[in-house]
Structure 1
């Protein structure tokens, strides 16, 4: 069976910042909600909370930071997806319910 790793983000507790690691790179990620536009944004900070990229809009099926070139950006694909196939948009109605932020690397589970 294959699966992608996802972030369990409590959408009732936004804005929020959490720490995570990708290989040897530790970062802080902030999640925000724009009520006027009904979309979420992501902020990327280094481990000292210095901003790397702020206000990146979560767009369904699109890799975060895809248009940015900065050696401080982790070499990992983070993508909002709905593995159930129920939605193809990332907004308040779907994010954290059927649409989640995934690490878009499929891992084989041989267990």
Structure 2
């Protein structure tokens, strides 16, 4: 069985900011919801709390920050996906239910 690591985000507590580590790089991610457009965004902060990229829209199947070149951006693929195949959109109806923010590295499980 294959799986990706996902972020468990408490969507009842939006906006929120949390810290995470990718290799030797610690960053903070801010999760926000845009009710008018029915989409979520991610803010990226460096380990000092400085803004790196603000308001990156979560688009189903699209890697976060793919349009930027900056050494402060983690060199890891974070992608909103639905591993069950039920949904192909990332919005309030799907995000946190079938669509999750995954680290797009497939790990082989123990069956």
Q: Which residue of 2 aligns with 1:65?
A: 65
Q: How many residues align?
A: 111
What residue in structure 2 maps to residue 97 of structure 1? 97
When the two chains are superposed, the root-mean-square deviation of aligned CA atoms in Å is 0.9
Structure 2 SS opposite 1:12 = coil
TM-score normalised by structure 2 residue count? 0.97
Q: Distance in 1 between matches of 2:83 and 2:3?
A: 10
Distance 2:47 2:32 in 1: 19
Unaligned runs of 5+ in 1: none
Mapping 1:72-111, distance limit 5 Å: 72-110=72-110
Q: How does 1:2-41 map to 2 (within 5 A)?
A: 2-41=2-41
Shift of 1:78: 0.1
Partner of 1:45: 45
Q: Could you tell me the TM-score, scaled by structure 1's length?
A: 0.97
Moved over 3 A (4+): none
Q: Distance in 1 between matches of 2:108 and 2:88?
A: 25
Structure 2: where are the runs of 5+ without partners?
Answer: none
